[in-house]
Chains A and B, each alone.
Chain A
Amino acid sequence: MSSALLHAREVGLAIDDTVLLESVSLSLAAGEIVTLIGPNGAGKTTLVRVLLGLLRPGRGEVWRAPGMRVGYMPQRLPVEDTLPLSVARFVALAGRYSGIQVQAALAEAGAGHLPDRPLQRISGGEFQRVLLARALLRRPQLLVLDEPAQAVDVNGQYEFYDLIQRLRRERGCGVLLVSHDLHLVMAHTDRVLCLNRHVCCEGAPREVSDHPAYRQLLGREGSRHLAVYPHHHDHHHDLHGQVVGHRHG
């Protein structure tokens, strides 16, 4: 379970004179869900891009397990209206996969009813599931999700995070999750890194939510979520036994 997938050591990045990341260290093992949390502009997406090898860090080192298959769900993915692309074709762009594999990935992500729809004609929530299907098609050892639930209402978000947790359990893949809302992901993550260009604090979700640096960074909003959190936590667990009942929360 504890085989390392990803390791970043004192990663720093500055563009022109603007510091985007400062001495960020992070590691992630198989079967682990790590959440990056922080306000807008904290460098979460930048860090993800560095970790994925899409951006070269100015300082520090990033190590990725050799040959690791990564499933990546970017924050935004605008698709040109001029490109006639069905959902299934879009998912199949991930590599050389059969139609059966594509359909299985779509079904697993809860988008099994969409394959023939034009990509530009589905809702934000559906698109999110399609993106997840494309990431899953690669049988990823590491799943990287950048603000995955933006386009979805709160119930949809809980449902989505439940799905991620189930995938982690079934497949034993590592998950790196980006969010600006600890409250939402709290019940679904093992470890939280609070980022504001540097790592303010890290630890188990409850430790981080109690940490002064976190409270200061996310201010009153953070405290509000903290106050609301136990309610949702209990709620979620109560209904979890009743399968999908948590929708009514």
Chain B
Amino acid sequence: MDEFLIRAVAGGLGVALIAGPLGCFLVWRRMAYFGDTLAHSGLLGVAGGVILGVAPGAAVVVCCLLLALLLVGLEGQRWLARDTLLGILSHSTLSLGLVALALVETVRVDLVSYLFGDILALGWREVAWIWAGAVLALGLLVWLWRGLLAITVDEDLARVEGVAVARVRLAFMLLVALVIGAAMKVVGILLITSLMIIPAATARRFSATPEAMAWLAAGLGALAVLAGVGMSLMLDTPTGPSIVVMAALGFSLGGLFSLPGLSRR
């Protein structure tokens, strides 16, 4: 096996490990579109990183966090529905990022690799960063788990029971931003949320506890990475989208297996 393949698989598995469990919370909290919006703003972060000479991964995390804070700040407003607001921010930040990158002509940026990922071009350094981000995020998630689960079920009840709701929510957004930063090189900012949502959605049918669903989502994400890289090699297809196609295939197969009889107890 070529070394670039080992690096690709290692990076992809690192991302899948955290994307699955975190994706469960996006599913439970109905925040899929929120995740998408943060991911799209990542391109603005890339542009900022290029202009300021900062590593794109770090710039993406910072940019996602700023947008998450902006969204928290706008939460109280009632003149626009939440999904409309997300739609506006999602596409305007994406376009702003594209425009900004075009204006910085001095630097040649491989746009497609940011949009759809370039997992086969991962260096060991990047793999190390991905794993550092994934392990940090996973640790944070374990630490936050009970509080996060409590506010996911009901924020009022959690607050009465002493959960620092605002802090937990902020930490959750930090986690999503971290994962987007780590996953950008693997599936690209346009496809990142699918790696969080699809394995989680597949895992739902086969899980009786939140923890089981989170671990299963991590495992299914890892399988999708392996199968996607394999498909990409055999059919010479783009790797990021191949991974997502495999995740979607898994979801469909899961649907077949859980037809009446095998479905939720």
Binary contact readout B149-190 vs A (1 if CB under 8 angstroms, 0 otherwise): 110111011111110000000000000000000000000000
Residues of B within 8 A of A (CB): 27-28, 30, 146, 149-150, 152-154, 156-162, 201, 204, 207-210, 212-213, 264-265
A54 within 8 A of B: yes
Of the candidates A53, A72, A86, the one whose C-beta lies within 8 Å of that of B157 is A72
Contact across chains for B208 and A54 when beta carbons are under 8 A apart? no
CB of A17 closer than 8 Å to a CB of B: no
Q: How many A-B contacts are there with CB distance less than 8 Å?
A: 63
A54 contacts which of B28, B159, B201 (Cβ < 8 Å)?
B159
Q: Considering residues B158, B160, B208, B265, which has the most beta carbons from chain A within 10 angstroms of its beta carbon?
A: B160
**What are 18 sample pairs from A and B whose C-beta atoms fall under 8 A apart?**
A52-B156, A53-B160, A54-B156, A70-B160, A83-B153, A83-B210, A84-B207, A84-B210, A84-B264, A85-B209, A85-B210, A86-B208, A86-B209, A93-B161, A94-B161, A95-B162, A118-B264, A144-B160
Partner of A80, one of B28, B157, B161, B212: B28
Query: Is the Cβ of A72 less than 8 Å from the Cβ of B153?
Result: no
Number of chain A residues close to chain B: CB under 8 A:
25
State how many angstroms separate the Cβ of B260 from the closest Cβ of chain A. Answer: 16
Binary contact readout A160-183 vs B (1 if CB under 8 angstroms, 0 otherwise): 000000000000000000000000
Contact with A84, one of B30, B159, B160, B212 (Cβ below 8 angstroms): B212
Decide yes or no whether A82 CB sits under 8 A from chain B: yes
A74 within 8 A of B: yes
Does A236 interact with chain B (Cβ within 8 Å)?
no
- List the A residue with the shortest CB-CB distance to B158: A93
Q: Cβ of B152 and Cβ of A52 under 8 Å apart?
A: no
Say yes or no: A83 contacts B152, CB within 8 Å. Answer: yes
Q: Is A84's CB under 8 angstroms from B156's CB?
A: no
* Cα–Cα distance between A82 and B201 once the two chains are bound (Å): 8
A82 in contact with B204 given A89-B209, A93-B150, A95-B162 (CB within 8 Å): yes
A90 at the interface (CB under 8 A from B): yes
Question: Do B265 and A72 have beta carbons less than 8 Å apart?
Answer: no
> Contact at A49–B156, with CB atoms within 8 Å?
yes
Contact with B along A130-172 (1 / 0, CB 8 A): 0000100010000010000000000000000000000000000
- Bound: A56/B213 CA distance, A: 37
Which 3 A-B residue pairings sit nearest by Cβ, starting from the closest? A72-B160, A93-B150, A83-B28
Give the nearest-CB partner of B206 in chain A: A84
Of B156, B207, B209, which contacts A74 at CB under 8 A? B156
A96 neighbours in B (Cβ, 8 Å):
146
A233 to B149, CA, bound (A): 43
Residues of A within 8 A of B161 (CB): 72, 93-95, 138
Q: Name the distance in Å between A114's Cβ and chain B's nearest Cβ.
A: 14
Contacts of A89 in B (CB 8 A): 209-210
Q: How far is the CB of B26 from chain A (nearest CB, A)?
A: 10
Question: Chain B contacts of A243 at CB under 8 A?
Answer: none
Is the CB–CB distance between B146 and A93 below 8 Å? Answer: yes
Q: How far does the alpha carbon of A77 sit from the alpha carbon of B208 in the complex, in Å?
A: 20
Q: A1 at interface (Cβ–Cβ under 8 A)?
A: no
Verify A82–B157 contact, CB threshold 8 A.
Answer: no
Q: Does the CB pair B157–A85 fall under 8 Å? A: no
List A residues 9-58 near B (Cβ within 8 Å). Answer: 49, 52-54
